[in-house]
Amino acid sequence: MIFADRVDAGRRLAEAVRDLRGDSPVVLGLPRGGVPVAAEVARALGAPLDVIVVRKLGVPHQPELGFGAIGEGGVRVISDEIVRHCGIRPAELAAVEDAEKRELMRRAHRYRDGRSRVAVEGRTVLVVDDGIATGATAAAACRVARAQGAARVVLAVPTAPADTVDRLREVADEVVCLSTPEQFGSVGQWYRDFTQTTDDEVSASLASAATTARPPGRPAPVAAEVEVEAEVEVDAAGVRLAGALAVPAGAPGVVMFAHGSGSSRRSPRNRSVASALREAGLGTLLFDLLTPAEEADRANVFDVDTLAARLLGATHWVRERASVPIGYFGASTGAAAALRAAAADEADGAVGAVVSRGGRPDLAAPRLGDVRAPTLLIVGGRDTTVLDLNRAAQAELRCENRLEIVPGATHLFEEPGALDRVAGLAREWFTRYLTGEHGGPGSPGPEDAAPRGPRSSSRPDQ
């Protein structure tokens, strides 16, 4: 099969994936050549378009031979076999990776022109290129999309070797390829016009798609340039914990997520809320509160004192990197840890706001009265036991606070629209109190002040 050009290839590819329209997918083009193909696919599906930026890691003095690839979000794909065979020393590997990481971030900013990356959490993601030869870059792109929270990853290309397509099915949920010639050669031989795509053309495609995708009358979003975005190791009082840090330039604050029992930094619900906060210009840190070995002991996930100490240690770690107010977003038992940590932070004053989703604030007693940061308690209307616990705990709070009930929602907010409501409430609360507006923390208004009431009792975890 011969394609006239990338536009022709994109239109044909769009026809092959038209059934995905009902999944409300996000289309991610591999720059540069994959973007004009992806633009046609996105246009046909009525889907948002973005780039997925990955960089090949070339062997020193033989850069055309790749020993791996990296992508946004700190994703690394390394071939240990090639590293050993070529005798690449650790210092050489690190030097190549550092150089490519800088280029990756430069290109991501150049292509998006200051726009935020399109959120993919919980979405079907369509990764598109103009063709595939070895598949190393496409495999890295699929892993990046997965690491960013995609619920399903579909790789779609006009042409590729059959054996490469088979290998890529190991990293993608589905591979759509229009043509798999026996004698492949190169991608360009299957196009009549394979003129190189420029950076300007990529930027123009994305800008056009962003404008087209906006509903009539809605202004273009103003998003900050992503200054820090990486997989990190958080030093929480001497314990190294895996995390994902994203801080837009000029962010007024960073929101740290404390997950509940049985969850982790990869919690799809927390990641969805984090995405909404980043769209509002706030930084986020999702991290594991326990090491893998500690998680094996179920008792540790209810050790609120330890979890709070980890959160405070991580708070100091963040403040060394970003001197801005900190917000805590806690879920279930993580909310108890957030409130306990906020109570212990009274002298430092780093914590500017707390949001609890389906939280167990009763587990933070008797320190609830010491919390000074404005606190928002969000509970599902059908989560009756936890709702009672939050009402009782609210009576113990002496800070500015509010209890928001999401009608019809259960403990995990799985009902349609429930989690969006949580994200909207959290975004409003953190934006209000981390920007220094409305008097800041510690200055309650009459409409938000909590009544005093009876002490909450301890009940089984929900």
Same domain, 120 and 236: no
CATH of the domain at 360: 3.40.50.1820
In this predicted structure, the answer to whether residue 214 has a pLDDT above a threshold of 70 is no
Residues 230 and 197 in one domain: no
**198 and 269, same domain (yes or no):** no
Instruction: Give the integer Cα–Cα distance in Å for 63 and 83.
Output: 13
Q: Give me the CATH number covering residue 90.
A: 3.40.50.2020
How many C-alpha atoms does 357 have within 13 Å on its Cβ side?
Answer: 30
Residue 257 C-beta-side C-alpha neighbours within 13 Å = 34
| Whether 97 and 185 share a structural domain | yes
Q: What is the pLDDT of residues 416-454, one digit of tens each?
A: 999 999 999 999 999 999 885 544 433 333 333 333 333
Q: Of the given ranges (109-123, 160-174, 329-343), which has the lowest mean pLDDT?
A: 109-123
- What would the pLDDT profile of 77-123 be if each residue is shown by its tens digit? 787 888 888 998 889 888 988 888 888 888 888 898 877 778 888 89
Residue 230 or residue 52, greater confidence = 52
Q: Would the pLDDT of 201 be above 70?
A: yes
Return the structure tokens found at 116. Answer: 């935020």
Q: Are 68 and 121 within one domain?
A: yes
Are 233 and 365 found together in one domain? yes
**pLDDT, tens only, 177-194:** 999 998 898 999 999 999
Range of the domain at 170: 6-213
Q: State whether 287 and 206 are in the same domain.
A: no
Say yes or no to pLDDT of 229 above 80.
no
Average pLDDT of the chain?
84
Q: What's the pLDDT tens digit per position in 303-314?
A: 888 899 999 999
Is residue 265, in this structure, part of any structural domain at all? Answer: yes
Q: What is the pLDDT of residue 458?
A: 30
Q: Is the pLDDT of residue 215 over 60?
A: no
Provide the pLDDT for residue 273. Answer: 93
**How many percent of the chain have pLDDT more than 70?**
88
pLDDT tens digits, one per residue of 243-282: 888 888 778 899 999 988 767 888 888 988 999 999 888 9
Q: What pLDDT is attached to residue 23?
A: 85
pLDDT of residue 226: 38
Provide the number of structural domains found in the chain: 2
**Residue at 221 is within a domain:** no
Task: Say if residue 352 is in the same domain as residue 406.
Answer: yes
pLDDT in tens, 282-300: 999 999 888 878 877 777 7
Q: Does 350 lie in the same domain as 232? A: yes
Judged by average pLDDT, the poorest of 90-99, 159-168, 345-354, 389-398 is 345-354
